[in-house]
A and B are shown apart, each in its own frame.
Chain A
Amino acid sequence: MSNLQVSVYRYNPETDSAPYMQEFQVDTKGRDLMVLDVLHLMKEQDSGLAYRRSCREGVCGSDGMNMNGKNGLACITPLSDVVKNNKLTLRPLPGLPVIRDMVVDMGLFYKQYERIQPYLQNDTPAPAIERLQSPEERDKLDGLYECILCACCSTSCPSFWWNPDKFVGPAGLLQSYRFLADSRDTATRERLTSLEDPFSVFRCRGIMNCVAVCPKGLNPTRAIGKIREMLLADAT
């Protein structure tokens, strides 16, 4: 009686000509399981089901997926949060090429991340011990450094769907601002110059899907706004 109806996206490019939805009946024994636990129970029924997972506690960012239409991490999403009318539909993250079932090719996502040069750049001589920050300077990085690159935000963003090769996407831009805001980074001007074209930052239309889905509660839209402010201050 506590059987949950689960509909899962299946696609194996080696054997299937087109993707299809497979129906599962999962006995949750009345417990409010995490969606990832349900995937494990389905894998017991069909060992061919492919999905990514690792830490199973919302730290590694491997199991980002679309659950009943909303992106999130399967491991920290309880059934009570997403299931409606005893039905659960699972699809891979939207907009990225599917390798197999729930596993997507994150190549474009990582390429955009790489493009914003996600590392400290400092051309001043290194001090004897370390580059110090004041507590206030360190505070500016809160809400930025916590991103685990699960891609839930970027793959819920229509601007990223249409132009994943040109628009950096919310995840990349949050990290871009993380380095723009860092008092120890001296490449601010170069970073800003590489972002002022009509696509990289400005394709953001501020619809805030990224904010609505971020499993870590971060706010990429605010970071994008800050980048715009920095660009404007630098160029006017």
Chain B
Amino acid sequence: MVTNITSFGRSGLSDWLMQRVSAVILALYTVFVVAYLLFNPNLDYYTWSGLFEQTWMRIFSLLAFVSIAAHAWIGLWTVTTDYLKSTRLRVGAQTLIILAIFVYLVWGIQILWGA
């Protein structure tokens, strides 16, 4: 058993499962958005904002935001533990990554639900 405190779920098994589930959600979201753009070639602001006013779309988007946050945390945490051997550098990078993910997540929620 190897201890770790900065990984997403503190467990390899839960991180592994979360990475796969979030990947499926992100794939579905991407396919949906790309298909929506393809089927609405003359998209205007009202149609686009109308889509994001639907409750189901907001839930779907929030789910995708949370998924990308978890996915990025798990993936980038793995990259830092592989390649950054200096503890100071690694912990610094991990802190920056987690803070950035937090900021983007809150920002995304504000765009989605605010105003």
Which of A163, A193, A199 neighbours the largest number of chain B CB atoms within 10 Å of its CB?
A199
Residues on B facing A (Cβ under 8 Å): 1-4, 7, 11-13, 15-17, 78, 81-83
Distance in angstroms from A117 CB to nearest chain B CB is 12
28 contacts between A and B (CB under 8 A): A159-B82, A162-B82, A163-B81, A195-B1, A195-B12, A196-B1, A196-B11, A196-B12, A197-B1, A197-B3, A198-B2, A198-B4, A198-B11, A198-B15, A198-B78, A198-B81, A199-B2, A199-B4, A199-B12, A200-B1, A200-B2, A200-B12, A201-B12, A202-B12, A202-B13, A202-B15, A228-B13, A231-B13
Chain B residue, CB-CB nearest to A198? B12
Number of A-B residue pairs having CB atoms within 8 Å of each other in the complex = 50
> Does A70 have its Cβ within 8 Å of any Cβ on chain B?
no
CB contacts (< 8 Å) of A195 on chain B: these are 1, 12
Most chain B C-beta atoms within 10 Å of own C-beta, residue among A198, A235, A236: A198
A166 to B1, CA, bound (A): 9
The range of chain A's interface size is 20 to 34
Residues of A that sit less than 8 Å from B by CB: 159, 162-163, 166, 193-203, 228, 231-232, 235-236
Question: Do A163 and B82 touch across chains, with their CB atoms under 8 A apart?
Answer: yes
How far apart sit A193 and B2, CA to CA, in the bound complex (Å)?
A: 11
B114 to chain A, nearest CB (A): 35
Q: Let me know if A232 and B81 touch, CB within 8 A.
A: no
Q: Which residues of A contact B13 (CB under 8 A)?
A: 196, 202, 228, 231-232, 235
A202 pairs with B83, CB closer than 8 A: no
- Contacts beyond the supplied A162-B81, A163-B81, A195-B12: 11 A-B pairs with Cβ under 8 Å: A159-B82, A162-B82, A162-B83, A166-B2, A197-B3, A198-B7, A199-B2, A199-B81, A200-B12, A202-B12, A202-B15
- What is the distance, in angstroms, from B39's C-beta to the closest C-beta of chain A? 36
